Structure 1
Amino acid sequence: MSGRLVRKAGTAVVAAVTAGTLLASGTAMAAPGPGERLEKRSVPKLLTDLQTLYRQTEEATERYNGTEEKLRRQQEQVGRLNARLAKARVALHDSRGAAGRLARQQYQGSSDFSSYVRLLLARDPQQALDQTHVLQRVSLNRVETVDRLADGEKEANTLAASARKALDDQLTLAERQKRERDDVQKRLGEVEKLLASLTAGQLAELARLEAAGTAEAQRKFVASGALSSARPPSSAGNAALRYAVEQIGKPYEWGAEGPGAYDCSGLTSQAWAHAGQEIPRTSQEQWDSLERVPLGELRPGDLVLYFPGATHVGIYLGDGMVVQAPRPGAAVKVSPIAANPVLGAVRPDPSAEGMSGYRPPVLPAGARDGSDAGYGLDVAPSP
């Protein structure tokens, strides 16, 4: 699989209830038991199974993204070291050439008497002193040539060792990335197999339960007072948000960062990059490195993180809504902020002032269509 699962026209969109509702109710998040018959599972059990599989898939996706970013940085490091090593080897070659010329001069006996003896025998002491000065300069240049050769060999050896280690690290990361890619594909295959086994009735019940769960989770979240203020975004936050809105309708694809498809952190990192500010690639890094803000102080453009491990992220739209790339099989869309269990929020530009005269972006038609929790796939149900 390339990251998108097979879509079949004319089928129902499969959905699972929001993670926030399931967690709040204390429902266990256990993966399907070995040998457990699909047709014997209750719809709530199917929901938790789907939730577990999708969450595991997104966790694996963010691990893959993190390794991919480390690999990119490692490749740049290898390139820099190789460039420095090439320059050091050229300089070493030149130093060896100069040292060779020095050795030949010494072998040919270019000076038979010491400068002191020449000074004693000279008819013109001043001329001898001048010659001695020249000889001292030549001697100093010879010492410098030998020193450059020694330093050059040391630097070249050190850089060669560093380049070899950096390349080994790169190969290790590449192998880890391959394992993580295989892990994502395996988990997506498990999701596809489960969804393809469901009947039309099960699909309809799943969609109904998801809608009810999302609405209840959002009602409780708003009632808690967590979103008690309305603030205008910064200029950069406004630009990031508008970029995200322009991506609505584009498909989720794991590991993707546009322009045709996105995963959750691919969307948020690219939105802020287009606003002129680079932020980390993965949701975990965004949570760990960006400044956190209370939910009551959210402003459009801020990033909302989800789940205890910060494995999902969306960009705050305002009025309790986010723009997000939900899960495989879904598309970038507008969702209630509590469609997934909220961990917290971060702000990429905490020192920037809110802009004046802000107007929210106009949303395209169908911006809220589809699964809010992102557990939907277009898969033909079993008969």
Structure 2
Amino acid sequence: MGSGVRSLTTTAMALACAATILAAPGVAYAAPTPTPTPTPTPAPASTPASNADLEAIRKKLETLYHDAAVATDAYNLAEERTEEQSTQIVGLAREIVEGKARLDELKHRAGAAARAQYRGGGLPDEAKLVLSDDPREFLDGAGRVRQGQQATKGLLAEMRRTQDDLEQYARDAAAQWKKLEANREAKAKAKKKVTKQIAAAEKVESALAKEEKQRLAKLEQQAAYEAQTNWLSSGVLDDISGKATTQGKKAVEYATAQIGKPYQWGAEGPNTFDCSGLTSQAWAAAGQGIPRTSQEQWKQLDRVSVEAMRPGDLIIYNSDASHVALYIGDGAMIHAPRPGRTVTIAGAGSMPILGVVRPD
């Protein structure tokens, strides 16, 4: 082997050994002639949202959760009406079953009367009088016959009434079924809207950094504080001196015991609540049934002035009555605010008040 070949072979073996050593894990060696590499430019850190941006986000979230609350009220109302109509349909079905049994009984009695008349020959009373051996006995019998005829007429009239009732029950059941289906559709539509609005709000919040979420929470607190301060500075508490009734105290006690439990739309407890679920259950615990939704509570319950309110009264918020809270006195209320929050005490004037209603 020539010196040139040996030289190439030696060089190749040396390179192979070097490659093996450099490839071994945990071993690092500097290259004999390092090649300078450009220093990578660090990625710019995301700029924290400004207060103006966060305020815009706060208002956007407020709108999304407000729309979710409106849809929740629509869902709750459709749910309540669906239950009512289901109960009515069951009641009507029971009436139809009982009416059919009554009609069958009346038909049987009418048939028995017809058979008895047939067996009597169906002769007119004048003929029976002529053929009778004892006219006095006949006259007594004729009186009973007339009574029987009147009873038969009454029986037939009752059959007609029962038949009419059955037909009316069937019409009512069909109408209630139609309403039931309409409310089921309304319920599904409202549920879809609630889910969409809450998902949109959660998406907005999830895009924020931890520090931004903390600042956003402070902005929310500040907005509520300013609204409450403005409400109190109007002197409204100077005129509020009503004392809770026994039922009102029970409603406040119930609501207070729920503090810290999560908001969940459509929930009436015992572990989660939405705003009207909390107020309706508080008054149910006090022995007073009230409408399920904040809008129906506003429509159906007696209204009182803000200055006349007392603990236990319900404060209705927003121009569309989309939120409700329970007044507990001293300018404070308890409510289930929105998704992501828990039942809590807040200033009664921390949101726009539409009015006050009194369940008792």
Aligned counterpart in structure 1 of residue 261 of structure 2, from 237, 247, 250: 250
Report the equivalent of 2:21. Answer: none
Distance (whole Å) between structure 1 residues aligned to residue 218 and residue 124 of structure 2: 102
1:137 aligns with 2:137: no
Report the equivalent of 1:149. Answer: 159
Pick the structure with more helix per residue: 2
Which residue identity does 1:243 align to in structure 2? Y
1:247 is displaced (CA, Å) by: 0.7
Which residue identity does 1:86 align to in structure 2? V
Aligned counterpart in structure 2 of residue 158 of structure 1, from 163, 168, 174: 168
Distance (whole Å) between structure 1 residues aligned to residue 180 and residue 234 of structure 2: 48
Question: Contact between 2:49 and 2:212, CA under 8 Å: does it hold in 1?
Answer: no
**Identity within the alignment, %:** 36
Q: Which moved more, 1:243-252 or 1:203-212?
A: 203-212
Distance (whole Å) between structure 2 residues aligned to residue 184 and residue 51 of structure 1: 14
Report the equivalent of 1:235. Answer: 246
1:261 is displaced (CA, Å) by: 0.9
Q: Pairwise mapping of residues 123-272 of structure 1 onto structure 2 (< 5 A)?
A: 123-228=133-238, 229-272=240-283
The residue matched to 1:230 in structure 2 has which SS? Answer: coil
1:109 is displaced (CA, Å) by: 4.6
1:279 aligns with 2:290: yes
Question: Contact between 1:115 and 1:135, CA under 8 Å: does it hold in 2?
Answer: no
Deviations 1:187-241 (A, max 9, x none): 1111121111111232122122122222211111100012213332111111100
Which residue identity does 2:245 align to in structure 1? S
Aligned counterpart in structure 1 of residue 314 of structure 2, from 298, 303, 312: 303
Report the equivalent of 1:60. Answer: 71
When residues 59 and 111 of structure 1 are mapped into structure 2, their CA distance, relative to the original with a 3 A threshold, is same
Q: Pairwise mapping of residues 78-89 of structure 1 onto structure 2 (< 5 A)?
A: 78-89=89-100
| Structure 2 spans left out of the alignment, 5+ residues | 1-47
Deviations 1:124-145 (A, max 9, x none): 2211111211222222233233
Which residue identity does 2:138 align to in structure 1? A
Structure index of larger Rg: 2
TM-score (norm 2): 0.82
Which residue identity does 2:311 align to in structure 1? P
Which residue identity does 2:163 align to in structure 1? E
Which residue identity does 1:141 align to in structure 2? A
Report the equivalent of 1:11. Answer: none
1:291 aligns with 2:302: yes
Q: How many residues align?
A: 311
When residues 110 and 308 of structure 1 are mapped into structure 2, their CA distance, relative to the original with a 3 A threshold, is same
Which residue identity does 2:287 align to in structure 1? G
| Structure 1 spans left out of the alignment, 5+ residues | 1-37, 350-383
Which residue identity does 1:114 align to in structure 2? P
Distance (whole Å) between structure 1 residues aligned to residue 307 and residue 220 of structure 2: 26
1:275 is displaced (CA, Å) by: 0.6
| Two-structure CA RMSD over aligned residues (Å) | 1.9
1:336 aligns with 2:347: yes
Report the equivalent of 2:81. Answer: 70
Distance (whole Å) between structure 1 residues aligned to residue 302 and residue 133 of structure 2: 82
1:104 is displaced (CA, Å) by: 4.0
Which residue identity does 1:215 align to in structure 2? Y
Deviations 1:255-305 (A, max 9, x none): 111111111011111111111111111111111222222222221111111
Report the equivalent of 1:49. Answer: 60
Deviations 1:14-65 (A, max 9, x none): xxxxxxxxxxxxxxxxxxxxxxxx9898212111111110100011101111
TM-score (norm 1): 0.77
The residue matched to 2:321 in structure 1 has which SS? Answer: coil
Question: Contact between 1:227 and 1:297, CA under 8 Å: does it hold in 2?
Answer: no
